[in-house]
A and B are shown apart, each in its own frame.
Chain A
Amino acid sequence: MRTIDVISTAIGNSFRSKLRTTLTVIAIFIGAFTLTITNGLGTGINNYITTTVAAIGAQDVLTVTKTQPDQSTGPHKYDPNQMASTSPGRPGQTVEGMTPADISTIAGVAGVVSVQPTLSISPDYVEAGTGTKYSLSASGAVPGLKLQLAAGAQPSATSSAPQIVLPVSYVKALGYSSDRSAIGSTVNIGITDATRAEHTVGATVVGIAETSLGGTGGTSTANEALAQKLYNAQSIGLSSSSKDRYSQASVRFDKSATPAAVTQLKARLATAGYDAKTVADQIGTFKTVIDAIVLVLNSFAVIALLAASFGIVNTLLMSVQERTREIGLMKAMGMGSGRVFGLFSFEAVFIGFLGSAIGAGIAILVGSGISAALASSVFSGLPGLTLIAFSPGSIATIILVVMGIAFLAGTLPAAKAAKQDPIESLRYE
């Protein structure tokens, strides 16, 4: 039998018992649909991170922290320099803080152009004029990492005037009619010092930040001048040794540095006892987390597919049983065992193809619909986010993987058919 005839016969056979084939195809459809959606979710989110965050991230900045002692083995020695972490992590997590001595050490590392400690500030409230006070959380601007703005400009790193970028949610609350009208106005920020005395610091609103995926939805960003002012205010009453304690620092390096040079710089910082990460590294960590979540979701889909593959085994075993005589006759007429095997395993592959192609196709329609709907409602504040995106490569991979699984499932019934003795089959009643 020619291969083309094997294929067309197999396809014809799979339509012979329509109900059974349909049910098996549905089972595969569910798995393939889920797999396509979960994969699309990963693709969509990662695309968003890459295109929006990485495009605006500075390529010449390293975030440096002190290398932490290994916390996995038992308690470690008390260190008076431990301080609460300002970077996202478990609540109560502490990091070993950096001192001015650390900053000058870092400044001395070859390749470092400048180093600036990140001040951790905890203001109490913000008010516009004599309006209502709203609680405020703020962080210093990370050099080079640009904010997504709805209006206004990035906070200036060089200006000595205190500047702040407020999130969109504060605009209406503070009594401004629009994002644009808030720009240029002055707000007062209240902050408590170590002696529990209240201070207020004035700042100019230079920008209004878009809500973004990084979770900075409620956080305002202070420029260096404002951050320093707030830090000074909250540090009143602290000894200078407790005051000059930073959880991290930003290092600038040569803009034209090659990736290899950056790696060497990181290595030099590591030898000096510091962990350094570029924006790309930080995005990489974020992506790793998303990839891990997608992997877990995918494994559920694969479990569904495995269940479906038993459906294929079952369906084909039944048709081998039903077609015993036909198989016997074909073998009596000189059809080789290999071709009989091919006939049934291709039928399995075809069922797999049907299920996965329909599953992927409908997943693309549904996924695109869902992300379009979400983009104009829930995620309207996140322009550019397509929650579920599809790449032709991953769709093709999914279809091929499902066909592969189907082939494996088909080998058992196909081998059974190929082994059949023509005489036994012809006697079969």
Chain B
Amino acid sequence: MLDWSPSIKERFSMPTPILAARDVKKSYGRGQSRFDALKGVSLEIFEGESLAIVGKSGSGKSTLMHLLALLDRPTDGAIELNGSDALLLRGRALNSTRNKTFGFVFQQFFLTGGASVLDNVILPLKISRVRSRERKRRGLAALAELELRDKAGNRASALSGGQKQRAVIARALVNNPRIIFADEPTGNLDSATGAVVEDILFSLNREQGITLIVVTHDEDLAARCDRRIYIRDGLVVETESRAA
């Protein structure tokens, strides 16, 4: 009866999800050793939302995040970015989309220890061909936002764990992404430092409207998100929204 064509959606003023997974499946290996990490996951993420992907180790959280971040291609199903098929993106267009739209925060910091904090932070800008002077300006601004301005010239290896993760967030932020993916962002931090990092991420979400997708098995972190989806053995078992 209801035809969910875009025009009708617009008439009903349904917002287009910034990112959506449609019955996404992902298998590793072939034949005997084939392993289905995701067995058909659908979800929609709207601009400005914060979403937690929760599940036990090996449940497929990171796999789902990699598919949503266009780092990997699903075996079956579709990924939509702003309502258009993201799997059609390839090569240069795909790289530039990732560079301009996404920011990444990983459990391991992936900072280059020998390079300066500033150099680490401006890496996404370097990749997107921003000129040196502008890079520096935006890099320092991002560091200032995370209260690391005075550490800009230090070697990244000389930072404390919490500072490292803040530097990583500055790097995720520097190219003004619309979505930040955070895979276990507090996994390597003690609870106090972890809480600070969480506060920073949620304030970015609230104040700058950056969509936040957090992969975690930490219930407290998950509880701070607008929405939680629970994954078990490659399937979404439960979706939970914060009571408004």
Residues of chain A touching chain B, judged by Cβ–Cβ distance below 8 Å, are 1-2, 5, 9, 12, 16, 325-326, 328-330, 332-336, 339, 422-423, 426
A16 CA / B91 CA spacing, docked (Å)? 30
| A4 (CB) vs chain B CBs: closest residue | B132
B72 at the interface (CB under 8 A from A): yes
Task: Please tell me if the beta carbons of B95 and A335 are within 8 angstroms of each other in the complex.
Answer: yes
The verdict on A334 contacting B124 (CB below 8 Å), with A329-B110, A423-B72, A426-B110 known, is yes
Contacts of B126 in A (CB 8 A): 1-2, 5, 9
Q: List 17 A-B contacts (CB under 8 A).
A: A1-B126, A1-B129, A2-B131, A5-B132, A329-B110, A330-B123, A332-B71, A332-B98, A333-B98, A333-B123, A333-B127, A334-B96, A334-B98, A334-B124, A334-B128, A339-B127, A423-B72
Pair count A-B, CB < 8 A: 54
A325-B110, A334-B128 provided; 9 other pairs, C-beta below 8 A? Answer: A2-B129, A16-B114, A326-B112, A333-B98, A334-B95, A334-B96, A334-B100, A336-B95, A339-B127
Contacts of A1 in B (CB 8 A): 126-127, 129
Which chain B residues numbered 123 to 153 have a C-beta less than 8 Å away from chain A?
123-124, 126-129, 131-132
**Most chain B CB within a 10 A radius of its CB, from A12, A329, A332:** A332
The verdict on A333 contacting B71 (CB below 8 Å), with A1-B129, A2-B129, A423-B66 known, is no
| Cβ-neighbour of B71 out of A9, A330, A336, A422 (below 8 A) | A422
A295 CA / B96 CA spacing, docked (Å)? 51
| Cβ-neighbour of B106 out of A335, A339, A426 (below 8 A) | A426
| Cβ-neighbour of A335 out of B104, B108, B127, B131 (below 8 A) | B127
| B63 (CB) vs chain A CBs: closest residue | A423
A229 CA / B196 CA spacing, docked (Å)? 112
Closest chain B CB from A185 CB (angstroms): 80
A329 CA / B104 CA spacing, docked (Å)? 9
B99 at the interface (CB under 8 A from A): yes
B92 at the interface (CB under 8 A from A): yes
Contacts of B66 in A (CB 8 A): 423
Closest chain B CB from A344 CB (angstroms): 15
| Cβ-neighbour of B127 out of A16, A326, A330 (below 8 A) | A330
| A16 (CB) vs chain B CBs: closest residue | B114
A16 CA / B116 CA spacing, docked (Å)? 12
Closest chain B CB from A208 CB (angstroms): 70
A30 CA / B98 CA spacing, docked (Å)? 45
**B81-111 interface code vs A (CB 8 A; 1 in, 0 out):** 0000000000110111111100010101010
A296 CA / B49 CA spacing, docked (Å)? 72
A326 CA / B91 CA spacing, docked (Å)? 20
A5 CA / B135 CA spacing, docked (Å)? 12
Contacts of A334 in B (CB 8 A): 94-100, 124, 127-128
Task: Please tell me if the beta carbons of B104 and A332 are within 8 angstroms of each other in the complex.
Answer: yes
| Cβ-neighbour of A333 out of B72, B94, B124, B129 (below 8 A) | B124
Contacts of A335 in B (CB 8 A): 95, 127
Closest chain A CB from B133 CB (angstroms): 13
A333 CA / B124 CA spacing, docked (Å)? 6
| B127 (CB) vs chain A CBs: closest residue | A335
A333 CA / B91 CA spacing, docked (Å)? 13
A1 CA / B69 CA spacing, docked (Å)? 20
